[in-house]
Structure 1
Amino acid sequence: MSIFYFVAFLSIFFALMTIFAKNPVHSVLYLVITFFTFTIHYILLNAQFLAIVNFIVYMGAIMVLFLFVLMLLNLNKDTEPLKSNLVKVMGVIAGMCLLVTLAGSFRVLQATGVDIVENTEIGLVGNLGKVLFSEFLLPFEISSILLLTAMVGAVLLAKNDPKNA
C-alpha cells in the first residue's frame, strides 16, 4: 500500500507542476511524467491493458504531438496575450468547484468504505479479449468500420484536387 500512496503523491505533485510551470515545454514534460505515474497505478490495480494503452497512446503519441506543436508555435512572452482579471476569477471559481467535488467524493468514500475486489482476473488482457470477441463482437466490428470510413473520408478531404485549384 505504501507504493500506491507514494505514486499517488507523485501523480498529484507532477500534475500541479504541469499547471504551475511557466515554460510550456516543461509543462508538457511534467504531463508525460504524470501519465507515467498513471501507468504505474494501472499496473498496481491489475489493469495491464489500460497500462499499455496509456503508455503507448498517451505518453508515446499524444504527448510527442503536443511537444512538436509547442516547438512549431514558438511561444514567446511577447506574443502571449495578457489575461484579464475576469479569466483569473473564473479560474479560481472553477478550482473551488473542483475542491468541493473532491471533498464530497472523499466524504462519500469514508461513509461507505472501499471494498476490495475479490476477482483478480478483471483487468487482464486475455479476459478482455474473450469478452471483446464474444459478447461485444458486433459493436467492435461496427466501430472498426466507422474508423475505416473516417480515415478514407479524411484522406479524400485532404487530397488536393487539381480541377478545383
Structure 2
Amino acid sequence: MTLACGILVVTSRSPVTSAMFLVLTMIGISGLFVLLNAYFLAAVQILVYAGAVMVLFLFVIMLLNIGEEEERQWNKFALTTGSTGFAGLTCLLLLTIWRADLPTGIGSTTVGSTKNLGNLLFTDGRFLLPFELVSLVLLAAMMGVILLSKKEIK
C-alpha cells in the first residue's frame, strides 16, 4: 500500500490528490513502524507528518490555487532512457540483495521505545545540547510567527 501510494503521489496530475496520496504514504510508513514495534515513532509519524505537515502542504496548494496539470507528451528518447534506467537500478538492487549476507533473526526490539529515546536525549549527554538548541530554534520561530502575524506592534 505504501509503495503504491508513493507511486500515485508522483503520477497524479492534481496537486490535492497527490497530497492525499502522500498522507496515505505517511500512514503506511507509520504502519511499518508499528510492525517494527516502534509505537511511539508510529504515533509521531502520524501526528507530525500525516497531520501537521500535510495540512501545511494543502494550505499552500489551496493558497496558490494550483490547477490540474495538462496531459504530457512523451517522446521516445525519454521513455527509453527512463525505462532502461529503471531496469538497471532494479537489477542492481536485486543483485545487491542477492549477494548481501543478511541476518535471519531480529535484533533488539527496543529500538523505537520511548524509554530508550528518553535515555538518549536526556541522560546520555550526547544529544542533550542539540535537543535544547532545536527547542530554542522552534521557540524563536514561534515568536517570529506571532510577531509577523500581528497587525501592529505597540
Bin of the TM-score, shorter chain as denominator length: 0.7 to 0.9
Amino acid at match of 1:60: G
1:17 aligns with 2:8: yes
The CA distance in 2 between the partners of 1:125 and 1:151, in whole Å, is: 26
Amino acid at match of 1:148: L
1:124 aligns with 2:113: yes
1:53 aligns with 2:44: yes
**What is the CA distance between 1:21 and its match in structure 2?**
1.6
Structure 2: tracts of 5 or more residues without a match:
none
1:107 aligns with 2:98: no
Amino acid at match of 1:52: A
Distance 1:40 1:137, change over 3 A: same
Q: Secondary structure at the match of 1:122?
A: coil
Q: Secondary structure at the match of 2:106?
A: coil
1:134 aligns with 2:104: no
Amino acid at match of 1:123: G
Distance 1:96 1:24, change over 3 A: farther
TM-score by length of 1: 0.69
Structure 1: tracts of 5 or more residues without a match:
1-9
Distance 1:53 1:102, change over 3 A: farther
The CA distance in 2 between the partners of 1:46 and 1:75, in whole Å, is: 39
Amino acid at match of 1:15: G
Distance 1:95 1:56, change over 3 A: farther
Q: Could you say what the CA RMSD is over the residues aligned between the two structures, in angstroms?
A: 3.4
Report Cα offsets for 1:69-103 as digits up to 9, x if no partner. 222222335xx6897989x94x9867865664454
The CA distance in 1 between the partners of 2:86 and 2:149, in whole Å, is: 40
- Pairs aligned (count): 150
Q: Secondary structure at the match of 1:133?
A: helix
